[in-house]
């Protein structure tokens, strides 16, 4: 039990325990790491492509929706123009002016 | 013993693994071959299929050009024909789960007959003709709110005529396939239709457009501006209807033309139609209702044609206005007696008086002096009778003039006073307009401007009058106009007078051909006049078919002309010149 509380500066203890301190680590990419990195890059590219395609599709939907809105407004405008043309028609003017008391021109004087 | 068992077990396992390996190889081979077949050998087919599923080419229809008109002294253009966006109700019967319910819902919303709708959708077809056309946006929204499976609302563009039956015969109509028929709609169908555009797009699984990859814009049809004066056209249509009723006629036409340009100012008939409901009109009246009688129907014009014979006689130097002769009550040619209209001898008359008294024998004198070849030359080759005038509306008749080689002497004599020749009202007025225009024949037309739309810009092109030929000399035309003035002042055109104005004109009471000759007591009355006589602003033809109240044009058609001319003098602010 005493040996568990023995304090020593040495890395080594005469009880056979060896304490090691990491000074530097040599890092390297092995085949497994390369596979992971490759898969990760591919996944990222795939996600990027999906993002762009999706963005393009949604823009396309928005554009189409705007075009349909434009067509609707143009159609409304057209209906108003048609109604204006109908109101200006001679038959319509004739009907409206029936009770107006207006009479055809009879004598005209030229100077 | 154990070692042997182990060896046997090991062999067995190896065999199983080998078998499995070969099975996997075979499956891989099959899959590989199939992959090769699909992606290499049939590559193009599958690409095409995929493209057809998610790539589409959609047509973008062009808007049909409008037809516009103006009124005198106004810059405003009025629409005679325009376009309106409405909706069609379509159905795919095989997609409708509950057809009974669908029919009930549609009948409620649109006020249609439920049984009629059900009978159309009860089958299992993929396509049936539209259930209804011309739905308003309110009706379309109401149907869409019901959200009935298999029922669709499709936008469609229809032709709309805001003035209804005004100038209907000049306009024609557009059918359900968007094609113009009759009138200007028919003649200028290509210019009015424009060219469709298209866009190429990708669609998703639900049929929604994802991306438009390329687009070609449609070229909308050209707008046409007519030479017709809206107010004069309306007035003329009312006038002919009133006149037909007043004189108990079967029908009637009026044409008004500007002799300096041969533009048609108005062209009216008493029988019109509403091009907004052309299908209904065809059922209720007759399909001939669409044909413009002013350009398509030929008739024997009678004595109005004496002016052309006289013009030919004077221009060829055969006679002058002062040439005199004594004229009996009849002349006999090839065993046929041709009488004066009153069956009386007119005695000594000069050529002006021949026109004033509408002397048949006198005009035959002119024709015979000219000789058939010269007479035929003026009628056929110079005035262009027996040929189309070339007006820009659909369905023009050339009329009928017997060829020179087949023309008998008696036929030539009849033609000289307007019988034995069939002419349209347009041909008649063109002859007079040439006289009014110092002898120049131009091509009649109703379109005076074409407007092309290029984006937000408009390109306006004026239709210039087309010179056809010099029919008679300027001097001859002046002499004829003076003679026609005398017809109105002293002859049978007195009822055409308008106080304060000089008017030149000629009457005609023509017999109508029938079985075995001409009909008894049935005539066509006409008067052609131009005013003011010294510099005519307008030429007008009045024609009444079989009027009952009076046997002579000198009391019917002339008075209609007087009323018309009086109105036009005020409208165009033409001061008196007499």
List of chain B residues whose C-beta atoms are within 8 Å of the C-beta of residue A89: 78, 162-164, 166
- Whether residue A25 is predicted with pLDDT greater than 60 in this model: the reply is yes
Name the β-bridge partners of B132: B89
Contacts of A60 in chain B (CB under 8 A): 202, 209-212
Q: What is the pLDDT of residue B378?
A: 98
| Separation in Å, CA B358 to CA A58, B58, B303, B328, B408 | 84, 67, 7, 14, 23
Q: Give the minimum alpha-carbon distance from A109 to chain B in angstroms, rounded to a whole number.
A: 9
| Candidates A79, A81, A90; nearest CB to B163 | A90
Task: Report pLDDT digits (tens) over B321-377.
Answer: 999 999 999 999 999 999 999 999 999 999 999 999 999 999 999 999 999 999 999
- State how far residue A72 is from chain B, nearest Cα, in angstroms: 10
ipTM of the prediction: 0.71
Q: Which of B280-294, B402-416, B459-473 has the lowest mean pLDDT?
A: B280-294
Which band of pLDDT confidence, cut at 50, 70 and 90, is reported for residue B110?
Answer: confident
Number of Cβ within 10 Å of residue B23's Cβ equals 10
Question: Which pLDDT belongs to residue A104?
Answer: 74
A68 at B interface, C-beta within 8 A: no
Which one is predicted more confidently, B48 or B253? B253
pLDDT above 70 covers what percent of chain B? 97
The C-alpha of B525 sits at a distance from chain A's nearest C-alpha, in angstroms, of: 28
pLDDT of residue B1: 46
DSSP string, B360-407: HHHHHHHHHHH-HHHHHIIIIIIS-TTS----SSB-----B---GGG-
- What's the rounded Cα separation, in Å, for the pair B18 and B526? 111
The four Cα atoms B408, B413, B417, B419 give a dihedral, to 10 degrees, of -30
CB-based contact, A91 to chain B, within 8 Å: yes
Whether B78 contacts chain A with CB within 8 A: yes
Q: By C-alpha distance, which of B400, B393, B432, B416 is closest to B527?
A: B432
Interface test with A, best of B78, B136, B157, B162 (most A CBs within 10 A): B162
Q: What is the pLDDT of residue B299?
A: 96
Is pLDDT of B12 > 50?
A: yes
C-beta atoms of A89 and B163 within 8 A: yes
Q: Kindly list the residues from chain A whose CB atom is less than 8 angstroms away from the CB atom of residue B166.
A: 89-91
Of A78, A82, A105, which has the smallest distance from its Cβ to B162's Cβ?
A82
CA B474 – CA B90 distance, rounded (Å): 65
Q: Does A69 touch chain B (CB under 8 A)?
A: no
Tell me the mean pLDDT in the region B558-578: 95
pLDDT at A10: 52
pLDDT band (50, 70, 90) for residue B552:
very high
Nearest to B155, CA basis, from B90, B220, B209: B90
Residues of A (6-45) whose Cβ lies below 8 Å from B: none
Comparison of pLDDT for A79 and B239, the residue scoring more: B239
Structure confidence by residue, pLDDT tens digits, B218-257: 899 999 999 999 999 999 999 999 999 999 999 999 999 9
Instruction: At B265, list the tokens.
Output: 């100012």
pLDDT digits (tens, 9 = 90+) for B72-108: 988 899 999 999 988 889 999 998 999 999 999 999 8
Class of residue A73 by CB neighbours under 10 A (exposed 0-12, middle 13-18, buried 19+): exposed
Among B204-208, B309-313, B396-400, the least confident range: B204-208
Please check the confidence at residue B212 and state whether its pLDDT lies above 70: no
Taking residues A14-42, what's their average pLDDT? Answer: 77
Q: Rounded to a whole number, what is the distance in Å from the CA of A31 to chain B's nearest CA?
A: 27
Distance between CA B133 and CA A102 in Å, rounded?
40
* B58 lies within 8 A of chain A by CB: no
> CB A105 to CB B209 under 8 A?
no
Count the Cβ atoms, other than its own, within 10 Å of residue B267.
30
Are B471 and B484 a contacting pair, CB within 8 Å? no
Using a CB–CB cutoff of 8 Å, tell me whether B60 touches chain A.
no
| Domain ranges (residues) in chain A | 31-97
- How far apart (Å, rounded) are the C-alpha atoms in residues B395 and B389? 12
Beta carbons of B162 and A85 less than 8 Å apart: yes
The fraction of chain B above a pLDDT of 90, given in percent, is 72
Largest Cα separation within chain A, whole Å, is 142
Q: Any residues with CB less than 8 A from the CB of B357 and at least 6 apart, and which?
A: B346, B349, B491, B492
């Amino acid at each position: 039990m005493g040996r568990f509380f023995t304090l020593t500066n040495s890395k080594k203890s005469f009880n056979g325990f060896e304490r090691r301190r990491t000074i530097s680590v040599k890092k390297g990419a092995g085949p497994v790491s390369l596979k992971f990195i490759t898969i990760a890059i591919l996944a990222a590219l795939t996600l990027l492509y999906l993002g762009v395609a999706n963005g393009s599709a949604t823009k396309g939907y928005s554009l189409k929706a705007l075009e349909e809105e434009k067509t609707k407004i143009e159609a409304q405008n057209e209906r108003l123009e048609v109604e204006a043309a109908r109101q200006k028609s001679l038959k319509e003017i004739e009907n409206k002016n029936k009770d107006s008391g207006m009479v055809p021109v009879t004598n005209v004087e030229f100077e | 013993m154990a070692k042997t068992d182990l060896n046997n077990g090991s062999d067995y396992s190896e065999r199983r693994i080998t078998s499995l390996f070969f099975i996997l190889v075979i499956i891989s081979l099959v899959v590989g071959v199939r992959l090769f077949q699909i992606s290499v050998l049939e590559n193009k087919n599958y690409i095409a299929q995929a493209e057809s599923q998610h790539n589409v080419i959609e047509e973008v229809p062009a808007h049909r050009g409008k037809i516009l008109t103006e009124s005198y002294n106004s810059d405003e253009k009025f629409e005679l024909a325009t376009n309106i966006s409405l909706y069609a109700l379509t159905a795919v019967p095989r997609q409708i789960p509950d057809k009974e319910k669908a029919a009930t819902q549609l009948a409620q919303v649109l006020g249609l007959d439920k049984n009629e709708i059900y009978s159309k959708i009860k089958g299992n077809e993929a396509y049936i003709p539209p259930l209804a056309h011309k739905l308003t946006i309110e009706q379309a929204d109401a149907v869409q709110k019901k959200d009935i499976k298999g029922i669709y609302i499709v936008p469609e563009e229809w032709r709309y005529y805001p003035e209804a039956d005004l100038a209907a015969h000049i306009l024609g109509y557009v059918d359900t396939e968007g094609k113009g028929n009759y009138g200007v709609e028919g003649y200028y169908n290509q210019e009015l239709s424009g060219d469709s555009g298209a866009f190429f797009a990708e669609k998703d699984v639900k049929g929604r457009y994802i991306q438009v990859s390329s687009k070609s814009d449609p070229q909308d049809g050209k707008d046409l501006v007519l030479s017709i004066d809206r107010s004069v056209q309306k007035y003329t249509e009312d006038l002919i209807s009133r006149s037909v009723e007043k004189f108990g006629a079967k029908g009637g036409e009026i044409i008004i033309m500007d002799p300096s340009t041969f533009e048609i100012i108005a062209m009216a008939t008493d029988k019109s139609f509403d091009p907004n409901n052309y299908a209904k009109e065809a059922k209720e009246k007759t399909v001939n209702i669409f044909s413009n009688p002013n350009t398509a129907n030929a008739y024997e014009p009678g004595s109005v044609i004496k002016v052309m014979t006289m013009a030919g006689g004077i221009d060829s130097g055969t006679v002058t206005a002062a040439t005199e002769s004594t004229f009996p009550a009849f002349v006999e040619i090839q065993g046929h007696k041709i009488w004066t209209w009153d069956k009386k001898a007119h005695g000594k008359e000069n050529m002006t008086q021949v026109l004033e008294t509408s002397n048949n024998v006198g005009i035959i004198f002119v024709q015979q002096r000219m000789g058939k070849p010269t007479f035929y030359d003026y009628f056929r080759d110079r005035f262009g009778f027996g040929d189309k005038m070339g007006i820009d509306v659909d369905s023009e008749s050339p009329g009928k003039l017997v060829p020179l080689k087949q023309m008998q002497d008696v036929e030539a004599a009849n033609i000289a006073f307007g019988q034995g020749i069939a002419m349209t009202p347009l041909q008649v007025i063109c002859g007079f307009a040439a006289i009014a225009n110092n002898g120049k024949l131009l091509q009649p037309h109703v379109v005076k401007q074409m407007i092309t739309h290029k984006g937000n810009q408009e390109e306006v092109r004026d239709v210039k009058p087309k010179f056809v030929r010099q029919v008679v000399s300027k001097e001859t035309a002046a002499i004829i106009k003076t003679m026609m003035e005398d017809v109105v002042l002293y002859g049978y055109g007195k009822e055409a007078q308008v106080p304060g104005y000089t008017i030149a004109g000629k009457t005609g009471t023509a017999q109508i051909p029938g079985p075995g000759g001409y009909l008894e007591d049935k005539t066509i009355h006409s008067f052609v006049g131009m005013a003011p006589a010294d510099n005519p602003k307008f030429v007008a033809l009045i024609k009444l078919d079989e009027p009952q109240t009076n046997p002579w044009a000198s009391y019917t058609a002339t008075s209609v002309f007087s009323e018309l001319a009086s109105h036009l003098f005020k409208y165009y602010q033409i001061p008196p010149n007499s």
